[in-house]
Structure 1
Amino acid sequence: MAAPLGTTPADTAREAAVEAALRKLDLDAKTRLLSGRDMWSLPALPEIGLPSLVMSDGPIGVRGVRWTADDPSVALPSPTALAATWDPGLARRAGVLLAQEARRKGVHVLLAPTVNLHRSPLGGRHFEAYSEDPYLTGVIGSGYVTGVQSGGVGTTVKHFVANDAETDRFTVNNLVSERALRELYLAPFEAIVENARPWGIMTAYNSVNGPTMTEHHRLVNEILRGEWGFDGFNVSDWTAARSTAGAIEGGLDVAMPGPRTVYGEALARAVRDGEVAEAKVDAAVRNVLRLAARVGILEGAEPVVTELPETVDGESLAREIARRSFVLVRNERAALPLKPNGTVALIGAAARDARVLGGGSATVFPARTVSPLDGLTAALPDGTLTYVVGADPNTELAAADKGFELHAVCRDTAGTVIGTGTAPSGLLQWMGDDLPEGVTHDALHTVELTGTFTPRESGPHTFGIKGLGAFTLRIDGSTYYDDVQRSTTDDPFVTFFGAPEPRAQVELTAGHPVEVSLTHIVQLPADIPMKVVSFTLAHQEPQRDPDELIAEAVKAARAAETAVVVVATTERVESEGYDRTDLVLPGRQDDLVRAVAAANPNTVVVVNSGSPVELPWRDQVAAVLLSWFPGQEGGAALADVLTGAHEPGGRLPTTWGSLADAPVTQVTPDNGALPYSEGVFIGYSAWEKAGRTPSYPFGHGLGYTDWTYESVEVRGTTVTVRVRNSGTRAGREVVQVYLAPAEPDADRPARRLAGFGGVEAAPAEVVETTVELPRRAFETWDEKTNSWSFVKGSYEIQVGRSISDRRLTATINV
């Protein structure tokens, strides 16, 4: 349980400052503080010496208050990659870096980490969460939160709770048994509250067993705050709060974004009308002021962190996390590492234009991105590397980027220029008052993205538009579109996450620049909760015949000693806002791999996806390396691993298999409800219960050395494992400890991860790791008594390299 307040003199002093500030505020000031001032911040209250508190999206970087490449951020690998390191210490270091980034951008609270579970492989946002296993999720999440907060920046662990899919996420009522809630979905939140004491929680859009999470008194007030002792602030997911009285009674402290929310004036009116007790408002304000005191922006309160951690090199850490996260799931005939001075054919569109992060609110804009082509070009000797596209998975248009030089021109209703802004890409998003100098929402009538485009390929180029409203698209002096784009969905974030509409196809010549212009008439609805100007000029290069591209790849593969094929998902496959319909790699990428493998038996496939995809050719290739979304230094890290400068250090944090065999696949609600009918059986537990064999099991991962498991010793609940590096080079092993009841129970998983430890050793070196089995590993939730039940009896401790590769066993009686 989290330690109570007032355990140190500093805690006591902060609480006194909070109470003193609270007494100075009238009702209007208090309710104003609980409502977003704009997209990312709370209002300042000068009367108590409180500046505006600023929040920012995470979890792989700190975007800040501006959604633009003009304000770059370090981009770390995806959360699935971080979990694949099985290293809470590395997660803590990532958090320290992100706190450093937050302070650089004037951010006080990071809206991260995401600790929802991989309930079904179809979850479209799973790249942003850690694992299918609640224990691993809790351990990695605790390291992350501890790291961020050690830098004096708050976190908001999200999305509380059971936000495990994107379909109808604003309205779905997830029906979850109390046992499944406690043993699975609440478990990572509980562990992080206990072990890392986060300063914030974000409640989700969805409902759970009836109430929406922004009004869920039992889960927020009784469990989160009551049972667990959480003393931080509770912020809504953006636009999630729907009821003034319901939200404040349900334990929601802050409704975001502003300025139009269910709090502020509406909450003050509810108090005056007798619908809400002012004591409820005071409790919420107290939580916000405590947060402000902790991050050091409340006058008279000493911040929690007075001595900042040492400065972290962001590029170096991003590269280290990436290579430590890569999971080598297959390596026949020692195909990896690459042989020195051997010739390599690099194949795949994602090798040139790397996908380093997932879509949606997790997006940040790094100052640089190292693609696999960049990384291998720098690492391999001249003349040993060739590159061909092979197959392009991007069947949709993307934001105008390479070859475009754009800027934004703002005009009033008379057509007079009132301001200009930079536009590093075709994506334009101005939120709140983040407008070019001299421009106001009241005066702004049109925004024109204009400039030049210099193609890198000749042929028919496609241009399009993402956004809602009136647009005029002109290319090389001709008007191709002059009309209104309308929404086909009630999702308020369609302008952020929707697909671009193709509006023009223009024949262009490589190297010859043309003028481009996209003008948008800005019309903000009167009832919109936030002022946002958002639209995108999209583009797609000429699409060559897929068979011709594959034939080129085959020719290149035959001429090289090793073929390295990079396959990838796209933003339309993995993003916030929608779930997946299948696990198939988009486009002709499966055909490409089969053709290359037939031409070169020494084919290595790098899978650039944030979560599982089907790999139907996996037994036909020499090696398969999972690189996740590897962050800005992904290509450099890939070169490190392929050349053998470093070994791939990752282990699977979630099961990889085919959709046909996956035990849990339902993510679409029926009449607004989504039953979690599988109960406590998700992930590897569900695969085992169903008796199905996945492509690659939970915990699996190979390195460049071998390991011999020599002994396991149990004393009480302490497990000591001895392993030997029986290979020829130094390496790191993740020793995994599973706990299995001796007497099988159909209502209980056959085994669960109970602990793990990472060890490093030189060749022939013997090392030990000690794992303390937590009490919770022996407990189940008893729905009759509504409490945790310690299940006495005999258990088998199973130690190994994955859920299915168990090397040693021991028995424990409790």
Structure 2
Amino acid sequence: MAIGSDPRTTTPGVLLRVLDADGTELRAQHCRSGRQLEPPLPPGAHTVEISARLHPRTSGAWRIGIAGFGRLSLHLDGRPLLDGEFAATTDDPAVLHVNPPTQTVTARLNAGSTPLLVARRELAPGTGRATVVGLQPPGPSPARTLASASRAAREADVAVVVVGTGEQHESEGRDRTHLALGAEQDALVRAVARANVRTVAVVNSGGPVELPWRDDVGALLLAWFPGQEAGGGLADVLLGRAEPGGRLPTTWPARLTDAPVTGTRPAAGRLPYDEGLHLGHRGWLRARRTPAYWFGHGLGYTTWAYDELSGPAHTAAGENLTVRVRLRNTGPRPGREVVQVYLSRPDSATVDYPERWLAGWTAVRAQPGESVVAQVHIPARALSHWDIHSGGWRTEPGPYRVLAGPSVGELPMTLDILACEAA
């Protein structure tokens, strides 16, 4: 996003210059934004400079920031705002080259003025060259924001409130320390939901988050990180042109403290994996805990009834297995259901099995009132465990239970089968 206009051409954007150690210009070019992760560095490059003629529309205290490493400075109409040395504290390439930390200052800007902002970064060995300059206008107080959102929700037929996480919450480069969206976002959802019972909360996150208001909203839609077509895709789902067809690939706790495993940092160089194979929903099942949303959970725009689960009474070790699930669309619209099949081994005295584990799944579609049969193929490996004595996969003879339903926490259909030694 442009933060102003190029001071040489007045074109929206910024002026990027590369200077040598004496301040001589080696290269200059117009850029559309102040986020320059790979500015060109001709021989002798010493300083990256980004400048823009600002055009504030709001008077007040603006936050101005520059991201990078080494010596950083900010000047506004020649007045120094920031000048200091900021050494790299990591060698993580994602931080050095994509997301360097930001140093911020506050400056008074008046609507209608055109001050010149000049940001410089001196290049330091081993710290990349990413240079990012940005501004944040003054915003209303949280109380005024909530009051405005509540007023808009009361006056609307349906309210849609979007909350979620950003790079400050989750990243591939570091572990998360909490699952909270934050007090301000939670307060926003609660305020809108109080003002309008027809509130749709859209959660834009890449993984589980705590949703303490989940029972207060009329509908809850998980959008993940949908990318540049998010607006169109979200509109299609909210307006009913498309059905929300996803199912959770993870189990979501109501509170992080409910999760069976929360400690992931080694102590004194050791990290015990006491949970063994009871990971994810398997750990929840073993601990007899109920999450906010189970693995596999997901709703669409219709409802389903599971009527029958059928399959062979016996299976031999090493053989694949197919079961059939008959279900009906009991709602008013055409729909799609993801039929999930799990296995359990209730009476083993020698092998540590999960309480139940995912064995297969398939998706079906049906018109209102229509019955369909889902054929779910279960690979032979789903009935096997790793035998440390023989060093291979082995199917333990005996009874197994097949369970079918819409999630690991809702399995209304069961079928008992007997696994036998291979002939």
Q: Is residue 2:356 matched to residue 1:760?
A: no
CA distance in 1, matches of 2:76, 2:357: 59
Q: Is residue 2:108 matched to residue 1:500?
A: no
CA distance in 1, matches of 2:236, 2:114: 37
CA distance in 1, matches of 2:273, 2:2: 42
TM-aligned CA distance change 1:732 to 1:511, over 3 Å: farther
Aligned to 2:9: none
Pick from 209, 214, 225 the counterpart of residue 618 of structure 1. Answer: 214
CA contact (8 A) 2:161 2:200 kept: yes
CA distance in 2, matches of 1:571, 1:401: 21
CA distance in 2, matches of 1:509, 1:724: 64
Aligned to 1:802: 407
CA contact (8 A) 2:100 2:130 kept: no
Deviation at 1:520, TM superposition (A): 1.3
After the TM superposition, which residues 143-154 of structure 1 pair with which residues of structure 2 at under 5 Å, given as runs?
A: none
Aligned to 1:649: 245
Q: Which AA in structure 1 matches 2:382? A: A
Aligned to 2:353: 748
Q: Which AA in structure 2 matches 1:683? A: G
1:198-255 C-alpha deviation (Å, 9 max, x unpaired): xxxxxxxxxxxxxxxxxxxxxxxxxxxxxxxxxxxxxxxxxxxxxxxxxxxxxxxxxx
Pick from 661, 670, 675 the counterpart of residue 258 of structure 2. Answer: 661
Pick from 146, 168, 186 the counterpart of residue 572 of structure 1. Answer: 168
CA contact (8 A) 1:704 1:731 kept: yes
Q: Is residue 2:305 matched to residue 1:708?
A: yes
TM-aligned CA distance change 1:580 to 1:730, over 3 Å: same
Q: Which AA in structure 1 matches 2:227? A: G
Q: Is residue 2:340 matched to residue 1:736?
A: yes
Q: Which AA in structure 1 matches 2:309? A: V
Q: SS at 2:51's partner residue?
A: strand
1:111-155 C-alpha deviation (Å, 9 max, x unpaired): xxxxxxxxxxxxxxxxxxxxxxxxxxxxxxxxxxxxxxxxxxxxx
Greater helix content: 1
Pick from 670, 673, 692 the counterpart of residue 267 of structure 2. Answer: 670
1:693-726 C-alpha deviation (Å, 9 max, x unpaired): 1001111111111112222221451112222222
CA contact (8 A) 2:3 2:135 kept: no
TM-aligned CA distance change 1:412 to 1:489, over 3 Å: closer
TM-aligned CA distance change 1:449 to 1:732, over 3 Å: same
Deviation at 1:511, TM superposition (A): 5.7
After the TM superposition, which residues 158-557 of structure 1 pair with which residues of structure 2 at under 5 Å, given as runs?
A: 405-430=13-38, 436=40, 439-440=41-42, 442-489=43-90, 491=92, 493-495=94-96, 496-502=98-104, 504-510=105-111, 512-525=113-126, 532-557=128-153
TM-aligned CA distance change 1:551 to 1:542, over 3 Å: same
Identity %: 45
CA contact (8 A) 1:500 1:538 kept: no
CA distance in 2, matches of 1:410, 1:429: 14
Range with greater deviation from structure 2 (492-501 or 533-542): 492-501
Deviation at 1:469, TM superposition (A): 0.3
CA distance in 1, matches of 2:119, 2:298: 48
CA contact (8 A) 1:744 1:750 kept: no
TM-aligned CA distance change 1:712 to 1:473, over 3 Å: same
Q: Which AA in structure 2 matches 1:444? A: A
CA distance in 2, matches of 1:422, 1:779: 62
Q: Which AA in structure 1 matches 2:133? A: L
Q: SS at 2:323's partner residue?
A: strand
TM-aligned CA distance change 1:452 to 1:719, over 3 Å: farther
Q: Is residue 2:326 matched to residue 1:718?
A: no
TM-aligned CA distance change 1:582 to 1:511, over 3 Å: farther
CA distance in 2, matches of 1:785, 1:755: 27
1:771-801 C-alpha deviation (Å, 9 max, x unpaired): 2111221111223443322222211111100
Aligned to 1:699: 296
Deviation at 1:410, TM superposition (A): 1.1
| Aligned length in residues | 402
CA distance in 1, matches of 2:165, 2:37: 24
Aligned to 1:793: 398
Q: SS at 2:275's partner residue?
A: coil
Deviation at 1:678, TM superposition (A): 1.3
Cα RMSD after superposing both structures: 2.2
TM-aligned CA distance change 1:665 to 1:633, over 3 Å: same
Deviation at 1:408, TM superposition (A): 1.3
Structure 2 residue ranges without an equivalent (≥5): 6-12, 316-320
Greater strand content: 2
CA distance in 1, matches of 2:410, 2:57: 49
TM-aligned CA distance change 1:570 to 1:799, over 3 Å: same
CA distance in 1, matches of 2:3, 2:249: 34
CA contact (8 A) 2:4 2:14 kept: no
CA distance in 2, matches of 1:646, 1:695: 25
The alignment's TM-score, normalised by the length of structure 2, stands at: 0.89
CA distance in 2, matches of 1:640, 1:762: 20
Pick from 597, 617, 621 the counterpart of residue 193 of structure 2. Answer: 597
Deviation at 1:456, TM superposition (A): 4.8
CA distance in 1, matches of 2:139, 2:159: 23
TM-aligned CA distance change 1:554 to 1:710, over 3 Å: same
1:318-371 C-alpha deviation (Å, 9 max, x unpaired): xxxxxxxxxxxxxxxxxxxxxxxxxxxxxxxxxxxxxxxxxxxxxxxxxxxxxx
CA distance in 1, matches of 2:269, 2:33: 38
Q: SS at 2:144's partner residue?
A: helix
Give the structure, 1 or 2, with the largest relative contact order (CA under 8 Å, sep 6 or more): 1
Q: Which AA in structure 1 matches 2:230? A: G
Structure 1 residue ranges without an equivalent (≥5): 1-399
CA distance in 1, matches of 2:14, 2:122: 18
TM-aligned CA distance change 1:456 to 1:698, over 3 Å: farther
Larger radius of gyration: 2
Deviation at 1:627, TM superposition (A): 0.8
Aligned to 1:319: none
Q: SS at 1:681's partner residue?
A: coil
Deviation at 1:587, TM superposition (A): 4.5
1:626-658 C-alpha deviation (Å, 9 max, x unpaired): 111111111111111111111111111111112
Deviation at 1:660, TM superposition (A): 1.2
Aligned to 2:154: 558
CA distance in 2, matches of 1:773, 1:537: 54
TM-aligned CA distance change 1:635 to 1:403, over 3 Å: farther
CA distance in 2, matches of 1:615, 1:596: 15
Aligned to 1:343: none
1:78-131 C-alpha deviation (Å, 9 max, x unpaired): xxxxxxxxxxxxxxxxxxxxxxxxxxxxxxxxxxxxxxxxxxxxxxxxxxxxxx
Q: Which AA in structure 1 matches 2:297? A: H
1:423-458 C-alpha deviation (Å, 9 max, x unpaired): 33322222xxxx64xx53x42111111123333543
TM-aligned CA distance change 1:672 to 1:761, over 3 Å: same
CA distance in 1, matches of 2:70, 2:169: 26
Q: SS at 2:143's partner residue?
A: helix
Deviation at 1:493, TM superposition (A): 4.5
Q: SS at 1:474's partner residue?
A: strand
TM-aligned CA distance change 1:810 to 1:455, over 3 Å: farther
TM-aligned CA distance change 1:651 to 1:511, over 3 Å: farther
Q: SS at 1:618's partner residue?
A: coil
After the TM superposition, which residues 70-109 of structure 1 pair with which residues of structure 2 at under 5 Å, given as runs?
A: none
Pick from 313, 331, 349 the counterpart of residue 727 of structure 1. Answer: 331
CA contact (8 A) 2:4 2:52 kept: no
Q: Which AA in structure 2 matches 1:732? A: R
CA contact (8 A) 1:403 1:456 kept: no
TM-aligned CA distance change 1:419 to 1:476, over 3 Å: same
CA distance in 2, matches of 1:501, 1:672: 34
